[in-house]
Amino acid sequence: MKNKRILEINEVMDIAKDYFIFWPDNKAMDWFKLIFPHFEKTGFFNFHSDREEMQIRCSISLFAFIYYELCIQTAWHEDKNFSDWEESIFIELRKEYSSILMNDPDEYILKIYRGLNEIGLESVFMWFWKNCEDGASRLVHSQSNNAAQQINSLERIDEQCYKQGLDWVLGGISDLKNYECLPIPF
C-alpha cells in the first residue's frame, strides 16, 4: 500500500467553489473554509491511492449538499440573495456519485456527519447560521410604522427556523434520499 497522503485545502478550493455558490461574493465558501481544518484533524482528507483521492475530491460536493439542505431546512433558501443550484448540477453529481463513489454517497455523508459531530454539531450549526446571515439580506426596509413589528415577526421566524435546522442536524443528516433540496432521485 502506498504511503498516506493528505489533500490540502488549496487542492480542493476549485472544486468547492463550483458548489458553494449560494450567496453573493462566495460567502458560503467561508463556512467550508472554517470547517476544513477540523476535518483535516479527523483524517477525512487522508488517502493512500489515486482512487481514494478521487473519492475524497468527489465528496467535497457533499459538504455543499449538506449546506444546501440546511438552507432548505432553515428557510434561508427563501432569501432574495440565495441562489439555487441548477438541475444540471444534480445530474452531473449523480453521474459522479455512481462512478466515483460507487453509488453510495450516503457512506460519505455519514463520514462527514461523524466529522461534524467530532467538531460539535451545535457549533457547526451556529457557524452555518452566522454564514447565512452574512450572505442574506435580512434587513427590513419599510416606510410604515410597522417596521418594529416586522422586525419582531422576522426574529420569531428566525428563531423557529434556527430550532428546526438544529433539530435536523442533531437528528442525523446521513440519508441523501430524504434531502428536500434534490429535484431528481439519487
**Residue 2 pLDDT more than 60?**
yes
DSSP annotation of 128 reads: H
**Residue 133 pLDDT more than 70?**
yes
Q: Domain map of the chain by residue range?
A: 5-178
**Residue 22 pLDDT more than 80?**
yes
Cell triple for residue 170?
A: 442533531
- The pLDDT assigned to 94 comes to 83
What's the rounded mean pLDDT across residues 33-41?
A: 91
**Residue 83 pLDDT more than 90?**
yes
Distances (CA, A) of 176 to 28, 132, 135: 20, 22, 25
pTM of the entire predicted model: 0.82
